[in-house]
């Protein structure tokens, strides 16, 4: 047996591959179904960014909370939200994660610590501060390591006042929060260079008194290692941090985006050279820790799962008038 150079066992590695592949196939399928007119509303796809979501969420349990973005499907899947409930939600059907009344940008599952995708840029950051404060109180009462909260924002959303205020609040209150900047180089069609003055988010974090680290977000192992450190820091009460993941998005900003702002050949180049799934597969197979046929078997299982999820979503009824006021107000 070859020695395993990775920090995860072969079965854990296969599980991470499965999660990333599930996100990829989920998004590839939505791309096709949306273009056919099968899906209502708006969707923003996470394909290409899987290593970040899965690398970070590998260190979390259900008691840890995440606050996601408009591009939230990958975060949901990596946090353990049921793929069938997600698909129904995106199709606007009963049995969806929010009974079909929220759609792509509002998928939430509090039992999994998934506080919600969010159509308002930067709005997840103060929610994560709230979850971090709650975790801090719980930790004081019970002792031991703290639950943590993760806030995700894109490079564009990182300019929002709410995000910057949250960095300050988390630092002042020493909250167990990690702020993840998913830097895919674009905010809609605006390139990062045009809209963000600093080259590195680590510098921006330093201005608020937070440590920061930048990683290649297309490298699962780099994300996994860096996320492990900042999350352990938060759990141990040593305070908040910022983690910048440099990444690529394989599709447009939203489905239907003609992407005329991309450089010539950019899309084929990132698919060929910056595909986090290919990089992961190359690393684990060339080290001899997993065999190609094990990965292909997972690919086939995932494809079948996504087919079933779409089939069930299409069969599920739409919410009716009687559902209008259910799940709107909390019952005390």
Ligand X SMILES: Cc1ncc(C[n+]2csc(CCOP(=O)(O)OP(=O)(O)O)c2C)c(N)n1
For ligand X, which is the closer residue by CB, 84 or 186? Answer: 186
SS (H, E, C) 280-292: HHHHHHHCCCCCH
The sign of the CA dihedral 59, 294, 218, 226 is positive
Residue with smallest beta-carbon separation from Mg ion: 154
For Mg ion, which is the closer residue by CB, 159 or 294? Answer: 159
Q: How far apart are CA 88 and CA 314, in angstroms?
A: 8
Residue 255 to residues 77, 239, 306, Cα–Cα distance (Å):
19, 38, 19
Binding of ligand X by 75 (CB under 6 A)? no
198, interface contact from Mg ion, ligand X, none, CB < 5-8 Å by kind: none
For the chain, the residue count is 332
Q: How far apart are CA 146 and CA 132, in angstroms?
A: 9
121, interface contact from ligand X, Mg ion, none, CB < 5-8 Å by kind: ligand X
Closest approach of ligand X to the CB of residue 162, in Å = 8
188, interface contact from Mg ion, ligand X, none, CB < 5-8 Å by kind: ligand X
For Mg ion, which is the closer residue by CB, 85 or 157? Answer: 157
Task: Count CB neighbours of 239 within 10 A.
Answer: 18
Binding of ligand X by 188 (CB under 6 A)? yes
Binding of ligand X by 186 (CB under 6 A)? yes
Contact residue for ligand X among 10, 41, 119, 130 (CB under 6 A): 119
The CA angle 51-129-110, to the nearest 5 degrees, is 65
For Mg ion, which is the closer residue by CB, 84 or 179? Answer: 179
247, interface contact from ligand X, Mg ion, none, CB < 5-8 Å by kind: none
112, interface contact from ligand X, Mg ion, none, CB < 5-8 Å by kind: none
DSSP classification of residue 257: -
79, interface contact from ligand X, Mg ion, none, CB < 5-8 Å by kind: none
Residues making contact with Mg ion (CB under 5 A)? 154-155, 184, 186
Binding of ligand X by 228 (CB under 6 A)? no
Residue with smallest beta-carbon separation from ligand X: 154
Q: What are phi and psi of 66, to 5 degrees?
A: -125, 145
Q: Which stretch binds ligand X (CB under 6 A): 29-37, 168-176, 183-191, 294-302?
A: 183-191
Task: Count CB neighbours of 198 within 10 A.
Answer: 12
For Mg ion, which is the closer residue by CB, 153 or 310? Answer: 153
Please name the residue that has the structure tokens 């929002």: 160
Binders in 43-62 for ligand X, by CB under 6 A = 44
For ligand X, which is the closer residue by CB, 155 or 275? Answer: 155
107, interface contact from Mg ion, ligand X, none, CB < 5-8 Å by kind: none
Binding of ligand X by 86 (CB under 6 A)? no
Please work out the total of residues on this chain that contact ligand X, with binding judged by CB under 6 A.
17
Q: Are 306 and 83 in contact (CB under 8 A)?
A: yes
For ligand X, which is the closer residue by CB, 39 or 284? Answer: 39
DSSP classification of residue 245: E
Q: How far apart are CA 99 and CA 32, in angstroms?
A: 23
What percent helix, strand, coil does the chain show, rounded to 5?
50, 10, 40
Write b or e for each residue in 255-287: b if 16 or more Cβ atoms lie within 10 A of its Cβ, otherwise e.
beeeeeebeeeebeebeeebbbbebbbebbeee
43, interface contact from Mg ion, ligand X, none, CB < 5-8 Å by kind: none
For ligand X, which is the closer residue by CB, 121 or 231? Answer: 121
């Amino acid at each position: 047996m070859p020695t395993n150079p990775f920090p995860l066992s072969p079965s854990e590695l296969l599980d991470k591959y499965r999660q990333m592949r599930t996100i990829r196939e989920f998004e590839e399928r939505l791309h096709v179904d949306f273009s056919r007119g099968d899906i209502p509303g708006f969707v923003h796809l996470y394909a290409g960014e899987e290593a970040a979501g899965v690398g970070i969420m590998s260190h979390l349990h259900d008691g840890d909370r995440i606050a996601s973005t408009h591009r939230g499907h990958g975060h949901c899947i990596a946090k353990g939200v049921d793929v069938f409930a997600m698909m129904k939600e995106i199709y606007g059907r009963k049995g969806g994660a929010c009974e079909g009344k929220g759609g792509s940008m509002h998928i939430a599952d509090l039992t999994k610590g998934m506080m919600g995708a969010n159509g308002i840029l930067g709005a997840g950051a103060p929610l994560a501060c709230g979850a971090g404060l709650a975790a801090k109180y719980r930790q004081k009462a019970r002792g031991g390591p703290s639950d943590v909260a993760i806030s995700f924002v894109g490079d564009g959303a990182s300019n929002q006042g709410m995000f910057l205020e949250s960095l300050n609040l988390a630092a002042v209150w020493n909250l167990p929060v990690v702020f993840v900047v998913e830097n895919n180089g674009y905010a809609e069609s605006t390139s990062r260079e045009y809209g963000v003055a600093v080259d590195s988010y680590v510098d921006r974090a330093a201005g608020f008194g937070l440590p920061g680290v930048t990683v290649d977000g297309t490298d699962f192992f780099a994300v996994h290692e860096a996320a492990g450190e900042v999350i352990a820091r938060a759990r141990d009460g040593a305070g908040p941090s910022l983690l910048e993941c440099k990444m690529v998005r394989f599709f447009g900003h939203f489905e239907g985006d003609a992407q005329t702002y991309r450089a010539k050949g950019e899309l084929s180049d990132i698919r060929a050279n910056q595909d986090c799934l290919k990089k992961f597969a190359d690393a684990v197979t060339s080290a001899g820790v997993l065999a190609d046929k094990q990965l292909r078997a997972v690919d086939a299982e995932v494809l079948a799962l996504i087919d079933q999820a779409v089939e069930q979503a299409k069969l599920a009824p739409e919410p009716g008038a009687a559902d209008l006021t259910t799940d709107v107000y909390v019952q005390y």
